[in-house]
């Protein structure tokens, strides 16, 4: 009895055809998800929050905006100074020693969004160019046992013709 039900369950199984590999599918999905998540996080911090915070309360807003658009720097000579009140934090303080520039580009979030689109575009292009050929071939192979011998030979010859015509066109 269970044997019969097991065979009947095969008739009602949903068959989904995957046109990409087991490695490519999660790689594409996880990469796009991470890139989009970090893109949204950067955008929220950069355009909604405060992307750069200056410690000096008397500093004019125009200087803060200038530091964000241009670049800021730290003094290498002040990295090894112990905090005794003479420096705001390591690397910041009076002096003209060797400078280490810290640049932050405002277009990083746009670049991450473009990368996410590129990762998804390859999947979209493959789906468009594939045009349902893989599921059609698999459907023809799946119904072969349910049709007559003459129809199976016809389908087999059509499939061989299709493969010969489309050889080296991938």
Closest alpha carbon to 56 in 80, 41, 72: 72
pLDDT of the residue at 109:
83
pLDDT of the residue at 167:
80
pLDDT of the residue at 41:
87
pLDDT of the residue at 15:
58
> Distance of alpha carbon 123 from its chain centroid, rounded?
11
Give the whole-angstrom CA distance, residue 111 versus residue 113.
5
pLDDT of the residue at 170:
58
Q: Which residues pair with 134 in a beta bridge?
A: none
pLDDT of the residue at 131:
76
pLDDT of the residue at 100:
76
Give the whole-angstrom CA distance, residue 74 versus residue 91.
5
Closest alpha carbon to 136 in 168, 164, 159: 159
Instruction: Identify the H or E element spanning 76.
Output: none
CB-based contacts of 98, cutoff 8 Å, min separation 6: 75, 76, 77
Note the pLDDT tens digit of each residue in 21-69.
788 778 888 888 899 998 888 888 777 777 666 667 777 777 777 777 7
Tokens of 162: 């299709």
Q: Answer for the pair 138, 17: CB distance below 8 angstroms, yes or no.
A: yes
Q: Which residues of the chain have a pLDDT value below 70?
A: 1-19, 51-55, 82-91, 93-94, 104-105, 138-150, 170
């Amino acid at each position: 009895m269970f044997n019969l039900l097991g065979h009947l369950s095969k008739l009602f199984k949903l068959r989904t055809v995957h046109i990409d590999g087991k490695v490519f599918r999660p790689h594409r999905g996880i990469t796009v998800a991470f890139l989009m998540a970090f893109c949204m996080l950067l955008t929220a911090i950069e355009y909604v929050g405060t992307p750069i915070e200056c410690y000096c309360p008397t500093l004019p807003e125009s200087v803060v905006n200038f530091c964000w658009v241009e670049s800021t720097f730290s003094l290498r000579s002040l990295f090894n100074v112990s905090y005794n009140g003479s420096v705001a934090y390591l690397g910041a303080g009076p002096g003209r020693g060797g400078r280490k520039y810290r640049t932050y580009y405002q277009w990083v979030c746009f670049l991450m969004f473009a990368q996410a689109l590129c990762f998804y575009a390859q999947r979209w292009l493959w789906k468009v160019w594939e045009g349902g050929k893989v599921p059609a071939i698999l459907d023809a192979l799946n119904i072969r046992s349910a049709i007559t011998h003459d129809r199976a030979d016809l389908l087999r010859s059509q499939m061989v013709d299709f493969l010969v015509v489309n050889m080296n066109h991938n």
